[in-house]
Copies of this chain bind each other. A is one copy, B any other.
Amino acid sequence: MSNAAQLQPVLDRIDADFDNSLERLFALLRIKSISADPAFAGDCKAAADHLAADIATLGFATEVRPTAGHPGIVAKLNGSGDGRPHVLFYGHYDVQPVDPLNLWHRPPFEPVVTDHADGRKIIVARGAEDDKGQLMTFVEACRAWKSVTGSLPVDVTIVIEGEEEIGSKNFVPFLEANKNDLAADFALVCDTSMWDPNTPAITTSLRGLVYEEVWIKAANRDLHSGIFGGGAQNPIRVLTRILGGLFDDDGRIMIPGFYDGVKDLPPDVLAQWSKLDLTPESFLKPIGLSIPAGEKGRLLIEQISSRPTCDVNGIIGGYTGEGSKTVIPAHASAKVSFRLVEGQQPDKIRKAFRDYVRARLPGDCTAEFGDHSSAPAIALDWNMKPLAAARRALTEEWGKETVLMGSGASIPIVADFKRTLGLDTVLVGFGLDDDNIHSPNEKYDLQSFHKGIRSWARILGAFAETPK
């Protein structure tokens, strides 16, 4: 029976087995694999072991392999030698910290299916979307193919990491070390979003990221503002003055050279994008906002996907407890990140930011910097053959034309796959803008999980029909 003929029984199997798929996802969601906090290192290892054991039940040759940090997983069901396409699927089992915990409506590691405000069914837990729910759509699609046909329609290698949320510092060495086991024709990543809850999307460009931390230091100790106030420099004053000058009145970033190399969208793409229904009403209203905060004169969709940005992600200094304390602190610090677009080089942006800070530093103050991560922007080839196959399969599953979109987020792994393994990547995901990833009450639509599994089943079938 051809793969095409087998597809319907595979989809039927997915529907019939969906409750079990959900239970397998829940088992993974219950593991507190927070990569950022060393206290959860054991949970990260447990998540890797659990997931590897689950994938092994599908017939994959599966190993949990060490890194300098949390372990990775390599699982192979390939080597058929019959010239079929060979895909390398990537996901990550680690999740973001859960603070502030008091804003969660339920414990973050006790997954449930519940009702969203507008009646959608949702899975709520830390990692429900990012990336446990997403990666399990692929695993469950493989399970259905294996269960119905005894094999997969294409050769598959799965690689899963445990440090995506903390910058994947050990993942490139891991790719290098396991290079021979990771050969494939192209890569698949399931860590992106749909266009809207009913419109599938493939992400064809990704913003890059530079993430800096800056510490401003002044006096050699905390001071009492009654004695020193007015005479001694206050590092919060210095830090807010520097950060407060990052934007002009039109929302442009004021770091000299920041926009060097940034190109405007081609007129045809801009025309296509301006017809899309991404409006402040649709995009900002659900989060309680109404006014696009980016550069004036740009479409909102440009602001969030094709234009570079800057956000202060955290700031702290002085007394932040209850009540008041008349202290002039010895130091203050901020975490500042930049989303980059094609044409910007992370190293240059990092240097430009540090130069900008140093140039504004008054006497008596020092600035120290920390480098959390950097990745260039990615623009994928819209004419890749597997992309066309995936697009067709998604459109069939969802009954709506698949949107090829730019994403504002950074997935540094895409550049790493190209550089280390020579692979292009197809980015298909089923997240939604209201999934609260990295926030309290993270969720994944039940439909995203269900139709996501069905989508991957179709995509794998479509790849099998596509000449390499």
Contacts and interface: CB of A to CB of B under 8 A. Distances in A.
Contacts of A287: 219-221, 223, 228, 232
Interface residues of A, number: 98
Contacts of A322: 36-37
A311 to B, nearest CB: 5
B320 A324 contact: no
Interface string A281-307: 001100111111111000010011001
Contact of A230 (B37, B326, B339): B339
A267 interface: no
Contact of A439 (B222, B236, B292): B222
A97 B321 contact: yes
Given A166-B323, A364-B290, A439-B223, A240 B231 contact: no
A230 B341 CA distance: 12
A450 interface: no
B309 A315 contact: no
Contact of A291 (B224, B335, B364): B364
Contacts of A388: none
Chain copies in the assembled complex? 2
Nearest to A96: B325
A363 B290 contact: yes
A240 B408 contact: no
Contact of A440 (B103, B222, B240): B222
A41 interface: no
Interface string A332-370: 101101010000000000000000000000111000000
B291 A233 contact: yes
Contacts of A220: 287-288
A410 interface: yes
Interface in A230-262: 230-234, 236-237, 239-247
A288 B228 CA distance: 13
A363 B291 contact: yes
A316 B320 contact: yes
A274 interface: no
A456 to B, nearest CB: 22
Given A222-B438, A240-B239, A303 B230 contact: yes
Interface string A367-393: 000001100000000000000000000
A241 B251 CA distance: 12
A325 to B, nearest CB: 6
Nearest to A290: B364
Given A226-B408, A408-B228, A318 B335 contact: yes
B315 A316 contact: yes
A218 interface: yes
Contacts of A437: 224, 227
For the complex of A and B, 5 pairs with smallest distance between CB atoms: A244-B244, A226-B409, A220-B288, A314-B318, A230-B309
12 contacts: A166-B323, A211-B326, A222-B439, A224-B409, A228-B408, A228-B433, A230-B295, A236-B315, A237-B246, A237-B311, A237-B312, A241-B247
Given A221-B436, A230-B303, A234-B293, 7 more contacts: A36-B325, A97-B325, A227-B304, A230-B408, A231-B293, A240-B243, A315-B316
